[in-house]
Structure 1
Amino acid sequence: MPTPAQQERQQLRQILRARRRSLSKAQQQQAAWQLAQQLRQQTWFIQAKSLVVYLANDGELSPEPLARMAAALHKKVYLPVLHPFQPRLLWFVRWIPGQTPLVKNRFGILEPRLKGYGLDRSRQIQPWAVDRVLLPLVGFDRQGGRLGMGGGFYDRTFDVSKSRPRRPLLIGLAHNCQEVADLPQAAWDVPLNGIATPKGFLATGRN
């Protein structure tokens, strides 16, 4: 049975998901473009040779314009893929916009097609080897607190306590309407190094 804290997080998740879904297509496109314009000037983006992005779903803020800029700058761009063998872990597979075949996973989210490629390591990157990871948020606060969808995929993948050599720079992306005053954290939540919205970038100071 869910604890009161879990019930509170789930209720907040529903409210914030409704907020981001209420944005019009034009508002979503404008937000994605504003995000790209400001993040392309960040030192951590300029210096990155590889980065993980995601394809927006359920009203999420889209990093696709930024990802296309990165690809044009010869940075290697990767998308998350549900791990086929280990539950609630992610693989990261190279994505070339307009070229990489995509299929929907069990959640209805597009990801690179693995069938026909086998375990081609040239198309994959280890979680600890990527430079930057842009991940979606359901909610955030200015202290760096984050609320995800509840599946724990990113938390498990970037849990460096399990003999992982390092954690890349983790940047959460969200619309400004997803901000809350205070967001209690669960023990398993991996810390974010920064949070980006269409209006600005917040460095959390967390490691």
Structure 2
Amino acid sequence: MAMSKFLPNNERAESTASLRKHLRKSLRNVRNSIPPEQRAHSALQIGQQLNSLSCVTKAKSIAGYLANDGEINLSTFMQDTFSRSKGMRKKMVSGIDYSSASAPKSALTSMPTTFSLPVIHPVCKGHLLFLEYGPHTTLVKNKYNIDEPELACPNVIPTSTIDVILMPLVGFDGNGNRLGMGGGYYDRTLAFTQFTQQKPILIGIAHDEQEVETLPFEPWDIPVDIIVTPNRILSFSDITP
């Protein structure tokens, strides 16, 4: 459904908003209609796909999410990451000085990975914070009834220092445009990525069924660098997956 370029700006904006709202509702229904068995299998496939990406396996800081509303569950992938990191920490305790210039190359590329989750910012309305997350992190319900780490300032990880952010998608197209839940939280939080070199690699996570031919987008929409589905990896930047 293409919009006429001759529509006045306000009418075009209303048309875009209306189309996005319709797509969001339709694609959420698609996402929630996927059978539990397929969803569980897709979660395993997504973990395998992510572990095939060098930008993920080499990342020292990864932000993910806790599945909600039919999103692909990252629990297995996160647990695998925790297990690998635990193994790396044991090696560090055994005597390897990872900060030393003489440390083995294999050691320098195998540092433990810090994981974090998004938390609704308590001060900046419509923004997110990322807090460190582990197997024993205390979780609380936010205003959307979604689990998130309990707010503690020492556990906040600056967004610009995160290597990879895994983002749940409602929909996507072949140009890297993404459709979220409509709150704009990620777009506001990641707006800085348009003006700086130091920024996270943004990876959208979705079922294959959530792809559409074309997504209408707004100037403030933040596109992803990579989209990972159970069966495909799509790259939209010069970043080497």
Q: Distance in 2 between matches of 1:92 and 1:206?
A: 26
Q: Distance in 1 between matches of 2:184 and 2:221?
A: 8
Which amino acid in the other structure matches residue 26 of structure 2? I
Q: Distance in 1 between matches of 2:197 and 2:45?
A: 34
Note the residue ranges of structure 1 that are not aligned, 5 or more in a row.
none
Q: Secondary structure at the residue paired with 2:131?
A: strand
1:141 matched to 2:162? The reply is no
What is the aligned partner in structure 2 of residue 112 from structure 1? 149
Which amino acid in the other structure matches residue 86 of structure 1? C
Q: Is the 8 A contact 1:13 1:147 kept in 2?
A: yes
Q: Secondary structure at the residue paired with 2:161?
A: coil
TM-score between the two structures when normalised by the length of structure 1? 0.91
Which amino acid in the other structure matches residue 105 of structure 1? N
Q: Is the 8 A contact 2:165 2:201 kept in 1?
A: yes
Q: Give the CA deviation at 1:5.
A: 1.1
What is the aligned partner in structure 1 of residue 124 from structure 2? 86
Q: Distance in 2 between matches of 1:81 and 1:190?
A: 19
Q: Give the CA deviation at 1:60.
A: 0.7
Q: Secondary structure at the residue paired with 2:67?
A: coil
The structure with the larger Rg is: 2
Q: Distance in 2 between matches of 1:201 and 1:186?
A: 24
Q: Is the 8 A contact 1:160 1:166 kept in 2?
A: no
Q: Distance in 2 between matches of 1:141 and 1:19?
A: 15
**Paired residues for 1:1-207 under 5 Å:** 3-74=14-85, 75-97=113-135, 99-114=136-151, 117=152, 119-120=153-154, 123-160=155-192, 166-205=198-237
The 1:150–1:69 alpha-carbon spacing in structure 2 relative to 1, beyond 3 Å, is: same
Q: Secondary structure at the residue paired with 1:172?
A: strand
- Identity over aligned pairs, percent: 39
Q: Distance in 2 between matches of 1:28 and 1:161?
A: 32
Q: Distance in 2 between matches of 1:163 and 1:145?
A: 19
Note the residue ranges of structure 2 that are not aligned, 5 or more in a row.
1-9, 86-112
Structure in which a larger fraction of residues adopt helix: 2
> In the comparison of the two structures, how many residue pairs are matched?
201
Which amino acid in the other structure matches residue 80 of structure 1? P
Q: Is the 8 A contact 1:128 1:164 kept in 2?
A: no
The two structures, once aligned, show a CA RMSD in angstroms of 1.8
Q: Give the CA deviation at 1:184.
A: 2.1
Which amino acid in the other structure matches residue 142 of structure 2? N
1:56-89 Cα deviation digits (max 9, x unpaired) = 1000112221111122221111000000111111
